[in-house]
Structure 1
Amino acid sequence: MIDSVELQRNNTLGLFLNNSYYSAASYAVNSGILTLYTYYLVNYFETGTNEYVHNLLSFANNEINSFGVKINNPFILNHINDLESVNIAVDRYFEARELYNAAVDYYNESNIPDALYNLAFMYVRLETSNTWLDLKDSFNDNLSIEFSQDLLKDLALSRIETAGDMITYAESVESSYYTDNAWDLLGISEEAYNGGNYIYSIFESLRSLANANLAMQLRGVTEEVVDERIELSDKLARENINLVQSNGLIPIIAISYYEYSQTFKESDPATALLFLEYSKQFALLSSQMVNSMGLGDLTFGMASQKEVGVQLLALLLGVVLGIGLVFSLLLRSLL
């Protein structure tokens, strides 16, 4: 595992130097998860008791609740790209909560390895959420807008309805893994909506819609047609990203998904298509949110994609790779 962590860290730096900032961030996160998981396993096998895991869960619960207070407060946006940063931070926080709940379930089932893995994943997700919040303060413009999730309630409901209609249509043609996954994601979205967590609801609705679209795209296609679908989806994703950027916004999430899709084009075309679908759906999210908040007439100061990427990676490398280095050294001393 240690060698795998070091390999991922080297891959991260290689992607960063190649200007693939968001893919590099994904590799950095994966490195952090694997490192922390290995650290937990070593400590668990050394102690030989479940009390160690129980204490980890108790501490994690406090961390989740404490960060929840921070993430649920209104935010002041002084640059429109702050909106994407806050969106991702909120989404990552709720993912961390789901991972914590999964860890508790695995612990109660005496499945300690999976409990520890989900705990490691949870902590890194929580750190990335905090990193996105820090990134919010990196942009400067002349805005001063108080932002709360309540402003997005109508948009969240609209996205739920759109996703539900698309899944129903896709399933009427042919049920598949992707339609089943779409229903699961829509259920999470509806639960988040009912709890007032509108950003998380929107994210899960868009992922649900992407899965439904993919179910339609992959229905009865040959390998040659899949390649054509990838080429078309790639083109549409880039067009959506360029359209949004021409209006002064940087669709950080969409660019992230787009870059990540490129790593799967040869090895896993279906996964490449899925992330391209995510990119297409999320590209327009910020502009839709801006309009939903009644800010459509504003003009925005530009921040370059490279500027955003460098700031993000500087933060992630400091948080995640720093964790990886420390724990790698610690693990070598233990093994």
Structure 2
Amino acid sequence: MKKNAVFFVLLFIIALAPCVCSAQEMHGSTKLLALLNKQGKQYGASATLDLDIQSGKNRVFLETFPLTQVTTQVSMRFAQQIACDQIDVDCSDYDFFYTIKSLPGVVGGPSAGASASVLTAALLLGQEMKKDTAITGTINSGGTIGAVGGIKGKIKAASENGIKHVLIPKGTRMYVEDEVEIVKIEEELEENQTSQNQSNETFGINQSNKLDLVEYGHNLSVDVTEVATLAEALKIFTGYKIKEPSGEFVIDPGYKRTMKSVAVDLCSRNSNITNQLQQLRENRGINASEKEVSAINYSEKSRESFDVGEYYSAASYCFRSSVSLKQDIFRLSNLTKGDFENKARIIEEEIDEFNKKINNTKMNTITALQTMMAVKERLQEARDSVTSALEADKLNKSADMMAYAEERFYSAKTWGKFFNGDRNEFKLDQKHLKQTCRSKINEAEERYNYIRSIIPSLKLVSRKEMDKAYEDLDKKQYVDCLYQAIKLKSEIDVVLGIIGIENKELDELIDLKLDIVRKNLIKAEQEGIFPIISYSYYEYANSLKEKDKYSALLFTEYALEFANLDIYFPKKRTVWDILKKVDRKMLLVFFLGLFAGILLMWSTKKEHKTLQTSPKKRLRGKKR
């Protein structure tokens, strides 16, 4: 009997093995278009990206020949995360091994991100990639393809390396001339080749000194196509079409109720502050200031937004109005330095008390995490404004900063109403928050270094926010760190995306990104997640796009980043989640093996009983 039990266990293990070890190894490669630093100049170059996918624990490795800048590792990790998310494949049981083969001096950074994402998605889907096609661009949240530098040189490199089709980021067709030249990967560039290449490439430049890259590529026998998303690029590379989220986006009823309540609170407060200022002016016989007139306009905009159900926009306009009105109140009240010191003490005590209260809040959903981010940001801004008010050398400056501090703190308290959560729980412990904070800082740092390398003179991006994120990381304030890094990365992506873009092209770019945000919100909602900050910024961007295009683009970028925050945190698995990962064919093999084992045991047991029967009974049975 003991032998039979052992035999049965062995059969069980043999039958189960295909289910456990069913993950197959995958390999693929694609051409990369890169920038090469040589003697103080940057040249277009071609390289190779290989990828091996094996059974593992969702780890990402990068090997380069020769060694490139370490920030490229960040691109590979992010590219893998976006690819898995966009094609809806659980990659937690795979390891990803990327290898870049290039000339020495290749510029590291995020420009290989789009290529890595396409290759990753194609392998996971079992799709064959075209060998004569290449893409250059960053990969951003929501699967968007972001702008990069040196595209002209990269197209020329493609023509020199047998690449017939180059995909470039949407909005980068009209290229601002720069100093990027071309070098083949197989040989060193001679000094006299540089000037020769320059002299032969004067076609396609329009009256605004921009180069039409589609025409430029055509003259080099290279097809150039603009793409906006990973889905578009993957379809060109493989013919495979990623299924887009279907249906209409429905605002979460809980969010709508809570945001309406927040808007009512902030707008009621705005009405009271308006009355206070008007009473103060009447008592002193003073006319309304330009600031008050502007604030009243914001109040009117808030009513318009509220009437059409845009409650976040309504709340934002009321907040902006309240700040301006209170600044006038404080200025007219002739407050002294001592008055501001008393106000500062009261606000700081209230901030500390409220901060302790929210730190004890359970946080296990994306909604709760984003609520915590919004509240913490407002508390920190209130605290910073108090400090600025006390350090100001003029009372009017103190009045303005203290007014902002009071209203920002009140805004933080109203946002605390969102601590309720959604359906899906995630691992939002300190360990995973720290890892995600580091990831986002690395992504932002990579883009910061990249933009400084291709446009050294650019002054639009400051390190102040980056340093603040690192400071929060050191203080173990991971939620603050994460929020800071996300916003910084978004701001850098906006700067990269608008280089060379004319005002008339902004409308198309904003509408494109808003549509991508909408699709990502639908997808999140179908997965039981409602990213409240993402939707709030999406709504606000829509309200701004007619009158403030650059702010609308910035808030759209914020919305994209916050819509995909769940990819950084492992979801808490249920039994059903585990069962869904089992290969159905292998499961069939398992049950067939199990059934065969049972039959074999039954026949063995029957034969064993027959052998134990006495010879007389066996003979008697034969006579019958």
Superposition TM-score tier, normalisation by shorter sequence:
0.7 to 0.9
Deviation of residue 243 (structure 1)?
2.0
Could you tell me which runs of 5 or more consecutive residues in structure 1 were left unpaired when the two chains were aligned. 300-335
1:59 counterpart = 2:355: no
Given that residues 22 and 255 in structure 1 are in contact (C-alpha distance below 8 angstroms), is that contact kept between their aligned partners in structure 2?
Answer: no
Deviation of residue 65 (structure 1)?
2.5
Deviation of residue 41 (structure 1)?
1.9
Deviation of residue 212 (structure 1)?
1.2
Taking the TM superposition and a 5 Å limit, the aligned residue runs for 1:205-220 are 205-220=485-500
TM-score by length of 1: 0.75
Corresponding residue for 2:452? 171
1:226 counterpart = 2:226: no
Taking the TM superposition and a 5 Å limit, the aligned residue runs for 1:57-206 are 57-71=344-358, 73-77=359-363, 81-106=367-392, 110-137=393-420, 149=430, 151-174=432-455, 175-180=457-462, 183-206=463-486
Distance change in 2, residues 1:224/1:76 (3 Å): same
Corresponding residue for 2:271? none
Taking the TM superposition and a 5 Å limit, the aligned residue runs for 1:231-270 are 231-270=511-550
Given that residues 91 and 199 in structure 1 are in contact (C-alpha distance below 8 angstroms), is that contact kept between their aligned partners in structure 2?
Answer: no
Distance change in 2, residues 1:238/1:173 (3 Å): farther
What is the aligned length? Answer: 285
Whole-Å separation in 2 of the counterparts to 1:149 and 1:93 = 20
Higher strand share: 2
Deviations 1:139-161 (A, max 9, x none): 68797x99665541111011101
Deviations 1:186-245 (A, max 9, x none): 121111111111111111111111111111111122223323322322222222222212
Corresponding residue for 1:318? none
Higher helix share: 1
Distance change in 2, residues 1:169/1:79 (3 Å): closer
Whole-Å separation in 2 of the counterparts to 1:149 and 1:129 = 22
Distance change in 2, residues 1:146/1:75 (3 Å): farther
Distance change in 2, residues 1:207/1:12 (3 Å): same
Whole-Å separation in 1 of the counterparts to 2:534 and 2:472 = 22
Please point out which of 298, 313, 325 is paired with 1:35. Answer: 325
1:280 counterpart = 2:568: no
Aligned AA (1:25): A
Aligned AA (1:162): E
Whole-Å separation in 2 of the counterparts to 1:279 and 1:79 = 18
TM-score by length of 2: 0.42
Aligned AA (1:282): F
Distance change in 2, residues 1:142/1:275 (3 Å): closer
Whole-Å separation in 1 of the counterparts to 2:413 and 2:300 = 24
Whole-Å separation in 2 of the counterparts to 1:227 and 1:7 = 25
- DSSP 3-state at the match of 1:76: coil
Deviations 1:4-54 (A, max 9, x none): 5444333222211101111111112112222332322222x2x5x322222
Whole-Å separation in 1 of the counterparts to 2:418 and 2:411 = 10
- DSSP 3-state at the match of 2:544: coil
Given that residues 81 and 136 in structure 1 are in contact (C-alpha distance below 8 angstroms), is that contact kept between their aligned partners in structure 2?
Answer: yes
1:10 counterpart = 2:294: no
Given that residues 371 and 415 in structure 2 are in contact (C-alpha distance below 8 angstroms), is that contact kept between their aligned partners in structure 1?
Answer: yes
Aligned AA (1:200): D
Given that residues 254 and 278 in structure 1 are in contact (C-alpha distance below 8 angstroms), is that contact kept between their aligned partners in structure 2?
Answer: yes
Please point out which of 50, 60, 65 is paired with 2:337. Answer: 50
Whole-Å separation in 1 of the counterparts to 2:413 and 2:568 = 22
Whole-Å separation in 2 of the counterparts to 1:99 and 1:298 = 49
Distance change in 2, residues 1:218/1:2 (3 Å): closer
Given that residues 33 and 124 in structure 1 are in contact (C-alpha distance below 8 angstroms), is that contact kept between their aligned partners in structure 2?
Answer: yes
Return the index of the structure with the highest Cα Rg: 2
Deviation of residue 296 (structure 1)?
6.0
Whole-Å separation in 1 of the counterparts to 2:423 and 2:519 = 26
Given that residues 150 and 196 in structure 1 are in contact (C-alpha distance below 8 angstroms), is that contact kept between their aligned partners in structure 2?
Answer: no
Aligned AA (1:66): E
Deviation of residue 120 (structure 1)?
1.7
Deviates more, 1:156-165 or 1:55-64: 55-64
Given that residues 103 and 114 in structure 1 are in contact (C-alpha distance below 8 angstroms), is that contact kept between their aligned partners in structure 2?
Answer: yes
Given that residues 99 and 118 in structure 1 are in contact (C-alpha distance below 8 angstroms), is that contact kept between their aligned partners in structure 2?
Answer: yes
Distance change in 2, residues 1:6/1:100 (3 Å): same
Corresponding residue for 1:312? none
Whole-Å separation in 2 of the counterparts to 1:203 and 1:57 = 25
Aligned AA (1:125): R
Whole-Å separation in 2 of the counterparts to 1:32 and 1:232 = 33
Whole-Å separation in 2 of the counterparts to 1:271 and 1:254 = 15
Distance change in 2, residues 1:66/1:146 (3 Å): farther
Deviations 1:50-80 (A, max 9, x none): 2222222222232233233223x23225866
Q: Quote the RMSD (CA, aligned, Å).
A: 2.8
Distance change in 2, residues 1:21/1:216 (3 Å): same
Given that residues 537 and 556 in structure 2 are in contact (C-alpha distance below 8 angstroms), is that contact kept between their aligned partners in structure 1?
Answer: yes
